[in-house]
Structure 1
Amino acid sequence: MSGPASTSPTGVPYSTLIWLAVATFTTGIDGYVLAGLLPDVAADLDVTPALTGQLVSVFALTSAVAGPILGATTSGWEQRRVIMAALSTFIVGNLLNAIAPTYSLALGGRVIAALGGCLLGAAVTGYVVHLVAERHRGRALSFVLGGWMTATALGVPVGLILGQTSWRFPLILVSAVGVIALIGIGLRLPPLRYPSSTLAARLKPLAQPRLVAGLLVSTGVLCASYTCFTYAVLILEPTHPAGWMMIVIMCAYGVASMVGNAITGRLVDRFSPVRVLTVILCGLLVNALFGALAFELAAPVAFAVLSLVWFVLAGIGNGGHAVPQQARLAAMAPGTVAVVMALNASAVSLGGALGGGVGGIALTTGLVPGHLPLVAAAVLAITLPLHLLVARWSRAGSAAAIDPSPAG
């Protein structure tokens, strides 16, 4: 392993990590620019909007399945090269998607981009965890993940604005930014290799029930989030009908996610990740219940305001959970961080897919969109005890490691 890069007074090598933040921004915004352009894509490729939506679904599904496999396979390799190879693959897939003359080629481009994107996310997080001292890890993760959070704020409006001429142009622009990040990574990132281990050892986290339960916390949080986020337009449109209103609201949600990410990044360096995550999960549950009550009881004028408060607070919590959760998972399996981060990326993708499905099922059974915060609260009411169980399990394991003397 190489020595640490030169750091700022805070102990975080921002001049180096900025290129990783740009890379995560690139992959993050790629998932959002298409959200507002699906009708244009459908018309250009001569397929139904529902089929076009599978361009988004196949990206998430490929990431969920391939992430752990690629993470385990490459965690023994030199990590700067892994990051550059993953980003290059993502750029190639994205360009193929941008120039595809047919739906099948566009779908193939999404698969290739997903293979690069899922490996990139895991490799970047593992790189940061190993490069930066533990006392500065939260701030460094927050800085790098801030690229993805910024993408949530800018993705939809950037796609809508730049896509006025062609839906292909935003994808080409994303690829161009990816090339800039690739050059910066090649020039500024120091080489980094994790301690040598066998593939079987790198896959060992899959055999740890405690870690699997911890990963399910990520799935639960994202499931609750996407139960509402996927259908945010349906929930908020009755009181915010103008198209520009939704663009502004989605920007506000993204900015709120960035704020939550920045705050928890600093808190994790001062308090334990478990404590920070506990506060966030409790806050998300209370906010979901607040949203459910607002939709059920508030008068229309009050509802217009309270719904925005609920949505923005949800953005803060959903953006803020990522850093403490990743720091907690890294501490649970420090020897296989790259694999664990790949597994977490899969857990996140699975949660997003489940959230969209849960929300859709709820609506088809007769619930109105305003009831979805209550569904999200139910998911969080399961996730919070699971998180507390994992925390207790971890403390018990730590105590046993400190005092291994046999009973009696």
Structure 2
Amino acid sequence: MNTSPATTSTPRVGSPLPYNALIWLAVAAFSTGIDGYVLAGLLPKIAGELSVTEALAGQLVSVFALTSALAAPLLGTATSSWERRRTIALALAVFVLGNLVVALAPIYPVALAGRVIAALGGCLLNAAITGHVIHLAPPEHRGKALSFVLGGWMTATALGVPVGLVLGQTSWRFPLVMVSVVGTVALIGILIKLPKLRLPPTTLAERLLPLKQPRLVAGLLVTTGILCASYTCFTYAVLILSPTHPAGWMMILIMFGYGLASMLGNAFTGRLADRFTPLRVLTVILIGLFANALLGAVAFAAAAPAVIAVLGLAWFFLAGIGNGGAAVPQQARLASMAPQSAAIVMALNASAISLGSALGGGLGGLTLTAGAPAPSLLWVAAGVLALTLILHGVVAGLTARHARQVAADPA
């Protein structure tokens, strides 16, 4: 076990990235990535075995996200005085336990309780990982470091989710066992390789202090909007795409393609965020996501089935590129708004992510329960993205005004 002293120092400019530590954080992100995506491809099986509707089965995804959104600030405050490696390890252990509860659940309420337990560990884990990466990486390589660790999440969608779906053809419970095994491997690596880090403890008021900045609040809501649009469709992707791709192996390949697309988006934007401004990169991504959702909705509504089979895949994979690519520039931009409170801002962003995921899954479920066909979810996502683009413009304007004020009065 690493016994190096705790530190709060920031790496010097020009320091190399500590990949021997970052790799285990990426593996932990890999386990949470499988958990976040694989259930969406197994909704019919889950619904059948637990005797609930597919819309209700989808709430296993939403309750995880909602619990994360509400619990992250409280848990972050309660553990702020803890040494960071210990916090990450404990959070990962709780996450693994929750997934085992879901895997063994005989009835829907027990599965729901397991998702709450997993969320309590997962929300603390994700924020702690991001905060640790920011402190491990030198400033000029933060985009690359975040991209590397988030690549664990993206790799989960490309490799872990398809493998989980293959296992899930026998039982939907097996992928959750796989998540627990991968999480345990990550836990061992973190305890051995991750250096200690102790940050000044914070109160809940201090953690929420950045929310006094209107531009930061609006920026966090941009995160919520992106994830809401994404999960409105992704949670029910199997219902949207299965009419033109009914075979089980087709959905496995489609999820594999989505994961590769997400990895591609993440890999490119991590470097672009270091080269260009995160604002410019994020603007292009948001415009692309909105146009893709709008054109996809039109295609599903008006095109012939044979055409939908092709255009539906194009929409899904392009959404993967955009959703995978949005994370790094958005996180980099938020961190730049409050550089002295980067860890707190990342914790708030984790809550914004979870809130968006919960809203998306819930919004999609309500739309389906109201009797709308699954492809109509693309119209809902397009509407959410339109509002998010407007909010993104507001954030850009507020940020520019703040920069002018600082330039005029540095004191």
Pairwise same-fold verdict (TM > 0.5)? yes
**Residues of 1 paired with 2:321 and 2:152: CA distance?**
15
Q: State whether residues 46 and 57 of structure 2, in contact with CA within 8 Å, keep that contact through their aligned partners in structure 1.
A: yes
- How far off is 1:376 after superposition? 2.0
Q: Please, which of 261, 268, 271 is the counterpart of residue 256 of structure 1? A: 261
Please say if 1:48 is aligned against 2:52.
yes
- How far off is 1:109 after superposition? 2.6
Please say if 1:398 is aligned against 2:400.
no
Correspondence for 1:25 = 30
Offset from partner CA, 1:25-78 (integer Å, 9 cap, x none): 11221233334445555666x543555544333222211110122123333432
**Count of aligned positions:** 404
Correspondence for 1:359 = 364
Counterparts of 1:66-215 in structure 2 under 5 Å? Answer: 66-101=71-106, 103-195=108-200, 197-215=202-220
Structure 1: 5+ residue stretches without partners: none
**Which of 176-185 and 312-321 deviates more?**
176-185
- How far off is 1:256 after superposition? 0.4
Cα distance 1:56–1:356, how it changes in 2: closer, same or farther (>3 A)? closer
Q: SS in structure 2 opposite 1:321?
A: helix
Q: State whether residues 40 and 234 of structure 2, in contact with CA within 8 Å, keep that contact through their aligned partners in structure 1.
A: no
Q: Please, which of 259, 275, 286 is the counterpart of residue 281 of structure 1? A: 286
**Residues of 1 paired with 2:401 and 2:333: CA distance?**
15
- How far off is 1:128 after superposition? 0.7
**Which of 136-145 and 291-300 deviates more?**
291-300
Q: State whether residues 253 and 311 of structure 1, in contact with CA within 8 Å, keep that contact through their aligned partners in structure 2.
A: yes
**Which of 243-252 and 264-273 deviates more?**
243-252
Cα distance 1:190–1:372, how it changes in 2: closer, same or farther (>3 A)? same
* CA RMSD across the alignment: 2.8
Structure 2: 5+ residue stretches without partners: 1-6
Please say if 1:329 is aligned against 2:334.
yes
**Residues of 1 paired with 2:94 and 2:305: CA distance?**
49
Please say if 1:245 is aligned against 2:244.
no
Cα distance 1:248–1:292, how it changes in 2: closer, same or farther (>3 A)? same
**Residues of 2 paired with 1:295 and 1:256: CA distance?**
21
Q: State whether residues 98 and 171 of structure 1, in contact with CA within 8 Å, keep that contact through their aligned partners in structure 2.
A: yes
Correspondence for 1:222 = 227
Cα distance 1:315–1:165, how it changes in 2: closer, same or farther (>3 A)? closer
Q: State whether residues 222 and 348 of structure 1, in contact with CA within 8 Å, keep that contact through their aligned partners in structure 2.
A: yes
**Residues of 1 paired with 2:303 and 2:17: CA distance?**
46
Q: Please, which of 390, 397, 402 is the counterpart of residue 385 of structure 1? A: 390
**Residues of 1 paired with 2:201 and 2:307: CA distance?**
59
**Which of 112-121 and 188-197 deviates more?**
188-197
Q: SS in structure 2 opposite 1:239?
A: coil
Instruction: Give identity over the alignment, percent.
Output: 67
- How far off is 1:107 after superposition? 3.3
Cα distance 1:268–1:254, how it changes in 2: closer, same or farther (>3 A)? same
**Residues of 1 paired with 2:297 and 2:213: CA distance?**
36
